[in-house]
Every structure is written in structure tokens, then in C-alpha cells.
Chain A
């Protein structure tokens, strides 16, 4: 079937896209503000059309371990949750990373710490790009800023996860999860056949054939020398991802004297800030990291030679700003502006902060 235009919430778009991108299995547990992912999948009943499995697990921990099992067989499997639920999944995520397994995780962030609030937040940046779970691992991290990207990144996330045999995560928030926009859904992509999975993922545990050794999926290696080898292999993979998969978008950066750096919903709000600033004669641009890991370090470093200052705008107390400062390496002033605990900033608030902390300094 062909592409289709719909008016959808971001969470609904994830569900529709999962079916259309040929996902084999979704395992989840409800939590606001992302419950529509599971609800929509249950309403659409894809097990009767594409054969996709949809299962409400007994807990987040169970769901991520179902993903671990499904991924080990080379299937396209995913889970979604919101901040406290993702914290519960972190052990499993570390295991998936340690076993070189591809999968897709979705975090529709809400305010924390703890159970926090159900309102939007971007306070899980550190958790996502700096580890979260234990060990030296990385998650390919995509930050959607529109409902269209919520749909598109399901496909992109799976493609990147399988290209590198590594978990990928969509790091969204309550705004992009709950708002409705026009979405062009992709044409249906058939689920991989057993034969295709065998050919494309020779590492998958799907029953040993006579012509090969058993495939063992594990993150355990008690021999430290071997475990160092494993880690070096991970690091080589991460280096390759950093070289090839950085994605970002520039908005009115060409003649900019000042730059906003923002991801996800914050970047949408910052587009308006750029419009307002330009109307006042302030030459402001916006750089939006689309991949938070790998981070667009080089692009931001290059702007440090062109602009007078940068403001990192995030719905948290200052997390991505650390990566912006590392990229800029002290060349120009970099400040942070944020609101916390589920409060969303307005465009004029951000413009005011830019003037106070960067322009009038």
C-alpha cells in the first residue's frame, strides 16, 4: 500500500510508522505521556495484517528483556516508554549494547527526577547520550522536532541500528508526543522473511545450521583480556558511527552573529525566537542537532569562528550545553537557558535570556 497523509499525535505517528516500516515486534508498558503508542498499536491490530506482534508486558523490565530476546533472533523489535520507565529499562539497554544487538527504543520524556511530572521535559539528555546504564556504550540517538520526524525516525532508527548492530533511541518529549500535525506516512515495507534475516544477520540466533558454528548472544565475558577486545570492537564501531552518521539542521545561520543550539521541541520554539530576533534586527541563527549522539561537534566548532556567542536552549538545567562548550572549547561565550520540571519556555522568554546572557554581556 502507498503513502498516506494523516493528522496524528507524535505518539500515534510512531505506532503507524512501526507497522509500515515492517517492525516484527513491539513490547511496552503504558506511561504518560507516551501511552498512545501502545494504544494505537492495539487499536490497529497489526498482527492480523503484517503479522507484527504487539504485547503489553507486565513491566518495563520485562518489555526490554523481550526486546533483548527478539533482537537476538535478528528481528526488528522495539519498545517505548517515558523517563521513569526508561530508567527501569537501562539494565536491559546496557545488555543489548554489550551484545551488539540492534533494536529501537523510544523515550517520550517527562519532568523528573523520580516519578516527577507528566509534563514535557528534556532532562534525560545525559541519561541517553552519556550512558545511563553501566559500561562504555553508546546509543544512536535521534531527536525528532515534528510529528513527521516521529514517523520518519522509526525507519531511520531501525536502519541505523541494523547497519551498525547497535541499539538506537528516539529521544522525544511530551510536546512532540502529544501534539498533532500533518504526517505523510511511508508506503508499507514488508517484514523481513526468515531467509532475508538469515542472510542479512548471520550473527542471529535462529537455530544452528550444519555449515556454521553456534551463534552465542551474550554480553558476558569473564576473561578480562577478551572483554577488552570486545570493548575495543565497540569503540571502533562508535568511531565509525561518529564519522558517518552526524545529522543536524541549520536555520538562518549564514549571516548569523549569534546562534541558538536546541534539539527536539525546543528547536521548534527556537525557530520562532529567530523570527522575533530578526524582526528586531538581531542576526540570530539556530543549529538543531538531529543526532544527539553522534553529536555535531565539528559543525558547532566551525561556528565558534563565525559567531559572537551561543545559547543552548533546553528543557532541563543545562545538559547539552556541556557538549556545546566542549565543541567550542572556550573560543566564545556559551550559555544555557532552560525551564525545569515540565514548564515550557515561551519564545519571548528565550529572546530575553539571549539578550541578558549573551548579547548585552
Chain B
């Protein structure tokens, strides 16, 4: 297996940490993983994206022309990455902040209204885990138990009490994602 994924949105949405948890989950399963952030003078509200590659084989380029999966969490990211999904690939978006419809017809498009769900859960920080849950429902590239292990590895111990909340958010995402 090999999944080449781009996650893109506003800085502060948890784009980089969602990618990190996905990478840790892959590591827990013994996969090769690469996590490549668009680092820079980033700030809350600016754009941020991260490429995550999970593979059974050694990984070549961390810089890609096109992706198997694009997760876009704002309109600038949609404008930039919609055209870069491989034909037959997957595009996942949160309708919050996306105001132009997807135009591609040769890809599989899914909507996960994570911002609404996070507000409903009274926990806006759960946003990125809801998105991750949606992704794992569509492409179960890692087992949920390994995601939880990955969370344990990537979170400092004082935050381990938040793991059940994250698990609930992931399950919420799995419930609410729908094909467009």
C-alpha cells in the first residue's frame, strides 16, 4: 500500500498535528512514513499544509505533483489542491469555509462537516480529529487502535486524559462523512 496525502487549511486548525497523528499511527503499524510541512513564517489564520505519505515500501519524494487524497479545509486550499488530486482519487472537505462547489467529476468527493460537529460537541479543538475520523472511514489505512497509540506517542503525558475525547471525535467523523 501507498497513500500520498495532502492536508491543507488555515494555520491553527490543527492541520500539522492531524498529519503528525496520522504519521505516528502509520509508524505504529510498522509502515514507512514521511511528514513534510509547508514550514515558514506561519501564523494563526495564515495557510498551512502538510504532506503525509504512508507506505509499505521506502518512500521517494516528499514533494509531490499530485495526491491520492486531498483534505481541504478552506477555500484557498480547495483552489490550490482540487486540480492536484489523481484521477480516481479522493477529495475531502468541510463545507464550513468552502463557498465554491467542486468542479472535478473524475474524483471521489466527500464532505465532513467537522466544524459544525465540533461546535455541537462544545470542543472546537476536536475539529481535526473529526476530519481524521472521516478520512479513516473512507480509507481505513490505519487501525483505530494504532491511531490511539499514535496519539499517546505524540501527546505529552499531561494531555493523555484528552485521548477519550479524541477517540469520540474520530468516531463522530466516521459517522458524519458523506459522499457528495
Residues of A participating in the B interface, judged by any CB pair closer than 8 Å: 5, 7, 33, 118-119, 174-175, 178-182, 265, 268-273, 275, 344-348
Taking CB atoms, residues of chain A closer than 8 Å to B59 are: 181
Contact with A along B1-39 (1 / 0, CB 8 A): 000000000000000000010011001000011111101
Report yes or no: B64 in contact with A5, Cβ–Cβ below 8 A. no
Contact with A along B112-149 (1 / 0, CB 8 A): 00000000000000000000000000000000000000
B62 adjacent to chain A (CB < 8 Å): yes
Known: A7-B27, A180-B23, A182-B27. A33 touches B63 (CB 8 A): no
Known: A180-B20, A182-B32. A275 touches B60 (CB 8 A): yes
Count of A-B residue pairs with CB < 8 Å: 67
Known: A7-B27, A118-B41, A272-B60. A178 touches B36 (CB 8 A): yes
Taking CB atoms, residues of chain B closer than 8 Å to A265 are: 62
* Least CB distance, B40 to chain A, in whole angstroms: 7
Q: How far is the CA of A3 from the CA of B61 in the complex (A)?
A: 26
Report yes or no: B61 in contact with A268, Cβ–Cβ below 8 A. yes
Known: A7-B24, A118-B41. A347 touches B63 (CB 8 A): yes
Taking CB atoms, residues of chain A closer than 8 Å to B23 are: 7, 180
Contact with A along B66-80 (1 / 0, CB 8 A): 000000000000000
Known: A347-B63, A347-B65. A181 touches B41 (CB 8 A): no
Report yes or no: A174 in contact with B20, Cβ–Cβ below 8 A. no
Q: How far is the CA of A5 from the CA of B27 in the complex (A)?
A: 9
Given A7-B23, A118-B39, A181-B32, output 15 extra A-B contacts at Cβ < 8 Å. Answer: A7-B33, A7-B35, A179-B34, A179-B36, A180-B33, A180-B36, A268-B60, A269-B60, A269-B63, A270-B61, A271-B61, A272-B60, A272-B63, A346-B64, A347-B65
- Report the count of interface residues on B (CB-CB < 8 A): 21
Q: Which residue of A lies closest to B150 (CB)?
A: A7
Taking CB atoms, residues of chain A closer than 8 Å to B37 are: 178-179
Known: A7-B24, A180-B23, A180-B34. A268 touches B40 (CB 8 A): no
Report yes or no: B63 in contact with A344, Cβ–Cβ below 8 A. yes
Taking CB atoms, residues of chain A closer than 8 Å to B63 are: 175, 268-269, 272, 344-347
Report yes or no: B39 in contact with A182, Cβ–Cβ below 8 A. no
> Considering residues B40, B63, B65, which has the most beta carbons from chain A within 10 angstroms of its beta carbon?
B63
Q: How far is the CA of A199 from the CA of B63 in the complex (A)?
A: 48
Q: How far is the CA of A273 from the CA of B64 in the complex (A)?
A: 10
Taking CB atoms, residues of chain A closer than 8 Å to B35 are: 7, 179-181
Taking CB atoms, residues of chain B closer than 8 Å to A344 are: 63
Q: How far is the CA of A179 from the CA of B63 in the complex (A)?
A: 11
Report yes or no: B33 in contact with A181, Cβ–Cβ below 8 A. yes
* Least CB distance, B41 to chain A, in whole angstroms: 7
Q: How far is the CA of A175 from the CA of B37 in the complex (A)?
A: 9
Taking CB atoms, residues of chain A closer than 8 Å to B27 are: 5, 7, 182
10 A-B pairs with C-beta separation under 8 A: A33-B39, A119-B39, A174-B39, A179-B35, A182-B27, A269-B63, A272-B61, A272-B63, A273-B61, A347-B61
Q: How far is the CA of A7 from the CA of B33 in the complex (A)?
A: 8
Taking CB atoms, residues of chain A closer than 8 Å to B64 are: 272, 346-347
> Considering residues B23, B35, B62, which has the most beta carbons from chain A within 10 angstroms of its beta carbon?
B62
Q: How far is the CA of A268 from the CA of B61 in the complex (A)?
A: 5
Taking CB atoms, residues of chain B closer than 8 Å to A345 are: 63
Q: Which residue of A lies closest to B154 (CB)?
A: A7
Taking CB atoms, residues of chain A closer than 8 Å to B60 are: 268-269, 271-272, 275
Taking CB atoms, residues of chain B closer than 8 Å to A180 are: 20, 23, 33-36
Q: How far is the CA of A212 from the CA of B101 in the complex (A)?
A: 82
Q: How far is the CA of A119 from the CA of B37 in the complex (A)?
A: 11
Taking CB atoms, residues of chain A closer than 8 Å to B61 are: 268-273, 347
Taking CB atoms, residues of chain A closer than 8 Å to B40 are: 118-119
Q: Which residue of B lies closest to A176 (CB)?
A: B62
* Least CB distance, A65 to chain B, in whole angstroms: 30
Taking CB atoms, residues of chain A closer than 8 Å to B65 are: 346-348
Report yes or no: B33 in contact with A179, Cβ–Cβ below 8 A. no
